[in-house]
Structure 1
Amino acid sequence: MPQLAHSAQTLLEKLDGFRVEIDPNRERADIVLQRPPYNIISMAQRDQLRLVFESLDENPDVRVVVLRAEGEHFSSGGDIKGFLEASPEHVSKLAWNIAAPARCSKPVVAANRGYCFGVGFEISLACDFRIATETSLYALPEQKLGQIPGSGGSARLQKMVGITRTKDIVMRSRRIPGKQACEWGVATECVPDAELEAATDRLVDELRAFSPIAQRTAKKLLNDTEDSTLAVAIELEGHCYSRLRSSDDFREGVEAFHAKRSPSFTGR
Structure 2
Amino acid sequence: MTTLNHPAQELLSRLDGFRVEIDADRKRADIILDRPPFNIIAMAQRDQLRAVFEALDEDPRVRVIVLRSIGEHFSSGGDIKGFLEATPEHVSKLAWNIAAPARCSKPVIAANRGYCFGVGFEISLACDFRIASETTLYALPEQKLGQIPGSGGSARLQKMVGVGRTKDIVMRSRRIPGKQACDWGVAVACVADAELEAATDALVAELVEFSPLAQRTAKKLLNDTEDAPLAIAIELEGHCYSRLRSSEDFREGVEAFHAKRKPNFTGR
Q: What TM-score results when the alignment is normalised by the length of structure 2? A: 1.00
CA–CA distance in 1 between the matches of 2:246 and 2:6? 38
Q: Once the 2 structures are TM-superposed, how far is the Cα of residue 6 of structure 1 from its aligned partner? A: 1.3
CA–CA distance in 2 between the matches of 1:182 and 1:168? 17
What corresponds to 1:252 in structure 2?
A: 252
After TM superposition, the structure 1 = structure 2 runs for residues 30-45 of structure 1, keeping only pairs within 5 Å, are 30-45=30-45
Q: Which 5+ residue runs of structure 2 have no aligned equivalent?
A: none
What corresponds to 2:229 in structure 1?
A: 229
Q: Once the 2 structures are TM-superposed, how far is the Cα of residue 12 of structure 1 from its aligned partner? A: 1.4
Q: Which 5+ residue runs of structure 1 have no aligned equivalent?
A: none
Q: Number of matched residues? A: 268
What corresponds to 1:100 in structure 2?
A: 100
What corresponds to 1:168 in structure 2?
A: 168
Q: What's the CA shift string for 1:51-72, capped at 9, x where partnerless?
A: 0000000000000000000000
What corresponds to 1:79 in structure 2?
A: 79
CA–CA distance in 2 between the matches of 1:153 and 1:43? 17
CA–CA distance in 2 between the matches of 1:6 and 1:104? 19
Q: What's the CA shift string for 1:126-167, capped at 9, x where partnerless?
A: 000000010000000000000000000000000000000000
What corresponds to 1:53 in structure 2?
A: 53
Determine if the alignment matches structure 1 residue 157 to structure 2 residue 193.
no
Q: Once the 2 structures are TM-superposed, how far is the Cα of residue 11 of structure 1 from its aligned partner? A: 1.4
After TM superposition, the structure 1 = structure 2 runs for residues 4-19 of structure 1, keeping only pairs within 5 Å, are 4-19=4-19
Write the letter of the residue equivalent to 1:144: K
Write the letter of the residue equivalent to 1:169: I
Q: What TM-score results when the alignment is normalised by the length of structure 1? A: 1.00
Determine if the alignment matches structure 1 residue 267 to structure 2 residue 267.
yes
Percent of aligned pairs with the same amino acid = 84
CA–CA distance in 2 between the matches of 1:7 and 1:165? 40
CA–CA distance in 2 between the matches of 1:40 and 1:179? 24
CA–CA distance in 1 between the matches of 2:204 and 2:175? 28
Structure 1 segments, 4+ long, off by >4 Å, are none
SS at the partner of 2:36? Answer: coil
Determine if the alignment matches structure 1 residue 89 to structure 2 residue 89.
yes
Write the letter of the residue equivalent to 2:170: V
Q: What's the CA shift string for 1:32-58, capped at 9, x where partnerless?
A: 000011000000000000000000000
CA–CA distance in 2 between the matches of 1:6 and 1:208? 31
Determine if the alignment matches structure 1 residue 220 to structure 2 residue 220.
yes
Q: Once the 2 structures are TM-superposed, how far is the Cα of residue 2 of structure 1 from its aligned partner? A: 2.8
